[in-house]
Structure 1
């Protein structure tokens, strides 16, 4: 059960506006980070931003902004070179999963022993009664990928747990993965992210006795991670071979893949087009597992529709690589439907992200159609402006039966343009295989003579060639 806003742990967002990034783009990035943080289970309490020529090498922010951030979290605002290095969150999470591998990753709320000491006499916010000690943000989320040293320095300066954008996305993927394949893919990305961020804690065992003597605890932990990664990759190869076999069996069928930015409404369209009970939720990365269903009402030949994982700006490369087999559904589709949330003011940037990822996997040459979804949230003028800019696009709402019917018709017309007519003769001795014809072609007419059943069919050239070979006609 999700927490209410009043009981969610608090987080502070941190962003650096670099040269070349407009105010609108910077605000959109932080708004999206806020949605990611909310999806992970936090309430955004404050945002700290700074214009800089580059991200500060040690602490991301400059000295003044770092102190401002520390005031919110109760930290010192400085990074003392002699400060005791705490055990990293990455290592804590790894050790917790080693002890309880079947449980969900621990939450990110700070424990009592890690909570910073409060000093009401020197805290202006506390003096004013505006911030209670128990209401301080316990997490700092940075809209950039952090190096291990930056993460450590920020934790020491703020007294709070620090996450970067990549870490947030990886954790969301970890929580939302359902199928065995998706869980393995996410764990690979997650371990690749955690391994370099593990730090040795002072006061813990520095050396291991017996086998592996001379290795520090963190080195042994990293070795465990390498072994686990090898095990996961081996298991994933077997699953992907099975997926490849399934895709090969569907190679001559008409296949449509829904692709687009996360939360663009792909799953809602999937449900509307196929009648399948796929998960529909107003949150980022609600769908990680590829679902394949037949277009409804069923057509002849049958059309398969697949719903794919959504994309996002700064999507970690490890996740793109881990989900490569899932994205192959887009690579091998006959038609890609680019789903865009037309009500989002940054839809153009989101569309470019989608195209960029598809270019990365080599799917840019697959025929495509642009869909502007959530049109029920647009004014008539806004809909007209979209069509003027993209006259080839469809502007629709997944909740409108008429719009969904128009999309279904557009999909069928696309395939019709590639179909050809042919005559088939099915010998009476092979009537038991007649279902193959109806699965792969549309039967226009049929008749019977002494040689068997004569069919006039319409299908893709590859399907016609296969049927002709199968029945020897």
Structure 2
């Protein structure tokens, strides 16, 4: 009989500096997002510490007074006794201590080390949090390799900081069995990191070649009708993917539930057959190393003929999220791909009157957008019509003749075209079809040789 083990609750606080150039709304939205990132890692955020400054403290990110305030809270000193009691009442008192401080910016290794020393608690900056989430959620070989490259790149400068702490003891003896004259442990570690990154990049290059070959074969078989779902993390892309394709893709109410690109056919199938791909979500201040590492994953967006930009209509900060996605699309060179803005989760916006008012405002601001809920079948059906209509706009109608001696090829007609009518005479069958120009031309050439 299996014994159930209750997982220990883990508590955290968030800390952030608000610079003069950042509005209160944007600052609050960023902090809320950091709390959600912490939740994805399994932490309960029990308090937040905010400070307005003209710049970050070069020594430890926050000012001296704020660092002292955090230290008192972390160590359960009298000033915060009442709040700490409330925190501990939610779980066993022994597990009520603060495990980590999440910082809402990327900070230098020395800033993180000094802050940890002063407050007596582990510090994780925004970049480290995102990397950890990606590390936990990566499933495919390509995604794991890409995440490892980003993590190693993040670790390299932190090894130099660790070497400063080690001092002269970090220097290794040269001589027999050594790694070189006077080479330090840190230098060896950095060299190992460089070698590992080079090895991973070779693996990714090989996987990219394989993926491009698979895409080319798929496009030869099915044409170029590809749709990519893009947007901010947790905007509802995977839910919409499931609704459009009838597939059992992962749907979870947390940030970065999807890291690997999933490709499925639009259901019910149409002519031309349309492939839908779900891509990794974007986020504000996504570490540059991750954007670079995930370019191969995001290339599904470049290969698509149509992008569906999914936006959470119920999020007050959706305009900032919309801007982030546009910036990333621009960075990967996908701005030229036709795009439809989909404002999803409208069913989360208050009552029916509030939803109607919100939808009207969105359509006025973004005239060609679609406002919907991925959980409403009627809304999904309308979106499907819009997608199919986009690809059928360039279809041609023509008549194809298939001699009786080649009737085994009838399946090829139905697989790549919509058959509008069929008639026959003594020589063979005539098919009135609608399909992509290249597909119809290819069938005609194939049958002429039959």
| Structure 2 length-normalised TM | 0.89
Give the 3 Å change call, closer, same or farther, for CA 127–260 of structure 1 in structure 2.
Answer: closer
Query: Residue 428 of structure 1: CA displacement?
Result: 4.2
**What is the distance in 1 between the residues matched to 2:73 and 2:5?**
23
**What is the distance in 2 between the residues matched to 1:308 and 1:452?**
46
Residue equivalent to 2:213: 245
Residue equivalent to 1:376: 347
Residue equivalent to 2:283: 312
**Which residue, out of 166, 182, 186, partners 1:202?**
166
**Which residue, out of 367, 386, 391, partners 2:362?**
386
Give the 3 Å change call, closer, same or farther, for CA 216–355 of structure 1 in structure 2.
Answer: same
| Alignment root-mean-square deviation, CA | 2.3
Residue equivalent to 1:64: 65
Query: Residue 425 of structure 1: CA displacement?
Result: 2.5
Contact 1:253 1:440 in 2 (8 A): no
Please say which of residues 317-326 and 384-393 is displaced more in the overlay.
384-393
Query: Residue 274 of structure 1: CA displacement?
Result: 0.6
**What is the distance in 2 between the residues matched to 1:260 and 1:289?**
14
Give the 3 Å change call, closer, same or farther, for CA 434–140 of structure 1 in structure 2.
Answer: same
* Unmatched runs of 5 consecutive residues or more in structure 2: none
Query: Residue 273 of structure 1: CA displacement?
Result: 0.7
1:51-82 deviation line (CA, Å, top 9, x unaligned): 111112221111111211222223xxxxxxxx
1:184-199 alignment, distance < 5 Å: 184-198=145-159, 199=162
Residue equivalent to 1:160: 121
**Which residue, out of 224, 227, 230, partners 2:198?**
230
* Unmatched runs of 5 consecutive residues or more in structure 1: 75-119
**Which residue, out of 168, 171, 178, partners 1:211?**
178
**What is the distance in 1 between the residues matched to 2:25 and 2:83?**
33
Match of 1:282, SS?
coil
Contact 1:260 1:311 in 2 (8 A): yes
| Structure 1 length-normalised TM | 0.84
Residue equivalent to 2:16: 15
Match of 1:138, SS?
strand
Match of 2:342, SS?
strand
Size of the aligned set, in residue pairs, is 425
**What is the distance in 2 between the residues matched to 1:267 and 1:442?**
29
Contact 2:73 2:79 in 1 (8 A): no
**2:147 counterpart of 1:179:** no
Query: Residue 50 of structure 1: CA displacement?
Result: 0.8
Query: Residue 449 of structure 1: CA displacement?
Result: 3.7
Please say which of residues 40-49 and 270-279 is displaced more in the overlay.
40-49
Contact 2:10 2:44 in 1 (8 A): yes
**Which residue, out of 202, 224, 228, partners 1:257?**
228
1:443-470 deviation line (CA, Å, top 9, x unaligned): 2122334554322221223333333343
Contact 1:3 1:41 in 2 (8 A): no
**2:263 counterpart of 1:296:** no
Residue equivalent to 1:221: 189
Give the 3 Å change call, closer, same or farther, for CA 46–181 of structure 1 in structure 2.
Answer: same
**What is the distance in 1 between the residues matched to 2:248 and 2:187?**
46
**What is the distance in 2 between the residues matched to 1:212 and 1:185?**
29
Please say which of residues 180-189 and 270-279 is displaced more in the overlay.
180-189
